[in-house]
Amino acid sequence: MDYTNLGRTGLKVSRLCLGTMNFGPKTSEEDSFAIMDRALEHGVNFFDTANVYGRRPGEGYTEQIIGRWFAQGGGRRDKVVLATKVYGKMSDWPGDQGLSARHIIKAADDSLRRMQTDWIDLYQMHHVERSTPWEEIWQAMETLVAQGKVRYVGSSNFAGWHLAQAQAAAASRHFLGLVSEQCIYNLFTRHVELELIPAAIEYGIGIIPWSPLHGGLLSGAIRKQREGTASRSSEGAASEGLEQHRETIEAYEKLAAELGHDPSNVALAWLLSRPGVTAPIIGPRTMGQLDGAVDALSITLDDAALGRLDELFPPIGKGGPGPEAWAW
């Protein structure tokens, strides 16, 4: 396993992050335990979850599964860099969502209880909250850090200017501020290259891409459809996307075959080669998916392969950051 620093911090995390969103809704607790154990065997030490993940809204079921896994002992908790999130609606009461100081602190305590741990390594704001001032947000986060309940703070689904705004407010309080941003980023979805990633690099904020396979469309969807093994890519919007982009996906799967790699791993290897990326989030439903994803770490894409991927999945505008991407 390869490791890197989380943003500008001294914290070492694996170059792949284990996403747990399937734990509970699609993967049984027993299988979830086995996948987390196997992740540690592979050297994956970075686990991501959220208080809203699970079977039913408000119960934090995925966090509960992780908590019961930690409770087995064996040094599991000490080996894991644990990331969870706050923002989502946890009940019908108006104060039980968002980024008010009240909700941030209560949600952290609830997550700690569910996960049977004393601290959260990376506490991420799941979405920007435009109606809450940064002074209030940072005051709440500072309280949690001072109490030893949170080590680092991250964001998710922010814009580049939100990062700048957050860091300016944190700096005025002599607080570390954001160390990571979790955003959708994959070959199909490259808009973060314009503003968000340049801002993150400037501020030393590590990028944690979610949906690296674009809902399964980059996982060999056409091959799986042909073999009758398609699952996620055959559902809803992903199925529509498959038909809309069939020609591109066919060419992509052909390129992956020429390179001698699984399409999923080519997509992950591409992300691992991108500036500012700390660790793509892999969300395995099965042990086989986890084992397969680890192979991406051994793939180095040469300039020819990267150029061909840019042809198939063009960056926005002229490529690279704005304003050069759209102006002279």
Residue 126 backbone zone (phi > 0: left; psi -120 to 50: alpha; other: beta): alpha
87 tagged catalytic? no
CA distances in angstroms from 179 to 121, 122, 162, 163, listed in the order given: 11, 9, 13, 10
User: What letter represents residue 195's amino acid?
Assistant: E
Q: Which has the closest alpha carbon to 69: 23, 5, 1?
A: 23
Q: Per DSSP, which regions of the chain are E strands?
A: 3-5, 12-14, 17-19, 46-48, 81-86, 120-125, 150-156, 178-184, 206-210, 281-282
Structure tokens, 13? 């995390």
Please state, in angstroms and rounded to a whole number, the distance separating the CA atoms of residues 240 and 160.
30
Does residue 323 have a cis peptide bond before it, meaning omega lies within 30 degrees of 0? yes
Q: Are the C-beta atoms of residues 11 and 210 closer than 8 Å to each other? A: no
Q: Are the C-beta atoms of residues 68 and 116 closer than 8 Å to each other? A: yes
Euclidean distance between the first and the last CA atom of the chain, given in angstroms as a whole number: 42
Q: Which of 3, 53, 61, 152 is catalytic?
A: 53
Ramachandran angles phi, psi of 210, nearest 5°:
-105, 160
- The helix (run of H) or strand (run of E) holding residue 13 is strand 12-14
Catalytic residues, by residue number, are 53
